[in-house]
Amino acid sequence: MSSRRTTSVLAAASALSLFALAACSGGTSDGGAQAGGDGKIKVVASTDVWGSVAGAVGGDKVEVKSVIHDPSADPHSYETTADDALAAKGAQLLLSNGGGYDEFFGKLSDQAGDAKKLVAYDIAATGDENEHVWYDLPGVDKVADQLATQLGELQPASKQLFADNAKAFKAKVDALEKRLGELGATHPGAKVVVTEPVAHYLLRSAKLTDATPKAFSDAVENDTDVPAGAVNEYKQLIATKQVKALINNAQTVTPLTQDVVAQAKAAGIGVVDVTETLPAGVTDYIGWMTGEVDELAGALK
């Protein structure tokens, strides 16, 4: 997520109709202090995306604290709090995104002592520099497997439960991956543009071509001014309807992104809003991803 933010971010988050922030199956990811249920494994995740995955695998055997659980918070600039440090010190397992996305979590990991530590970017091992690996569905499968393994080591009596939960979760993830493949087969060679390369892996699974001028997406990602030539090229792709959809990171709102989104809508090109944390209306990872795949499918029609 670009560190550039305006008050429009709050409006964008509201427009996404604020996702419930609880991790599924009994785990919590409300960002507050944990209640400490008897026998529950304490998990701290860097964002509610990974907190929801941990909740899906751990079920009611885990208590999950997600440090970032607000659509307007930027992992790149987040400053940890005393509550975050306290939670990390009491955690038995920590789950971060990695890849330079949530560097703040390194400090918390250092304070966590002997807690087990999982880094999604390293587990996914995509061979790609794009850090938004929660959109890499095969990588998310790998994270779920690692969660089941580590939770099983922490609570051997529940090892089979964690394995079963991971299997059920992965079946839903795999169904989404299959759907994306079918989209690609239905729309071979379809081109899209993005305001920021957040959903890179999702588009790759759907075999869609990202036609965004590199200078455009790089500038937005790095919070620098987009070169005029790249802006003109981007807008020309929309004006001439060379692209089927515009993929918009709704959590990075600038006058330029607002402008191109408005242009796409006026041209009758579908706009698909994607986010980096759970926005609201669905309480878990699968529900969130299903909604985004649904939007993508609708835009490509």
> 39: buried, middle or exposed (CB in 10 Å: 19+, 13-18, 0-12)?
exposed
Residue 1 pLDDT: 57
User: At which of 128, 161, 177 does a domain end?
Assistant: 177
Same domain as 91, residue 65:
yes
Plot region of 241 (φ>0 → left; ψ -120 to 50 → alpha; else → beta): left
The verdict on 34 and 173 lying in the same domain is yes
In a domain, 2, yes or no: no
Structure token pair of residue 17: 């109709």
Range of the domain at 193: 179-300
* Same-domain status, 22 and 81: yes
Q: Are residues 29 and 171 in the same domain?
A: yes
With residue 66 as reference, give the H or E element that holds it. strand 62-68
Do residue 203 and residue 172 come from a single domain? no
Does any domain span residue 257?
A: yes
Query: For 238-256, what is each residue's pLDDT tens digit?
Result: 999 999 999 999 988 889 9
- Number of structural domains found in the chain: 2
pLDDT digits (tens, 9 = 90+) for 97-121: 999 999 999 989 988 889 999 999 9
22 is a domain residue: yes
CATH code (residue 216): 3.40.50.1980
| Assigned domain for 184 exists | yes
Model confidence pLDDT, tens digit, residues 12-32: 333 333 333 333 334 444 443
Do 104 and 153 fall within a single domain?
Answer: yes
Same domain, 167 and 24: yes
Do residues 183 and 193 share a domain? Answer: yes
Residue at a domain's end among 134, 155, 177:
177
- 3 within a domain of the structure (yes/no): no
Question: Looking at residue 200, what is its pLDDT?
Answer: 96
Alpha-carbon distances of 289 from 6, 179, 281, rounded to whole Å:
26, 11, 12
The answer to whether residues 224 and 112 belong to one domain is: no
**pLDDT tens-digit map of 118-165:** 999 999 999 999 999 999 999 999 999 999 999 999 999 999 999 999
38 has a pLDDT exceeding 60: yes
- pTM > 0.75: yes
280: in domain: yes
Q: Transcribe 6-53 into DSSP letters.
A: -THHHHHHHHTT----PPSTT---SSS-----TTPEEEEEEEHHHHHH
Where does a domain end: 130, 159, 177? 177
How far apart CA 200 and CA 217 sit, in angstroms, is 11
Task: Give the confidence band of 281 by pLDDT, cuts at 50, 70, 90.
Answer: low
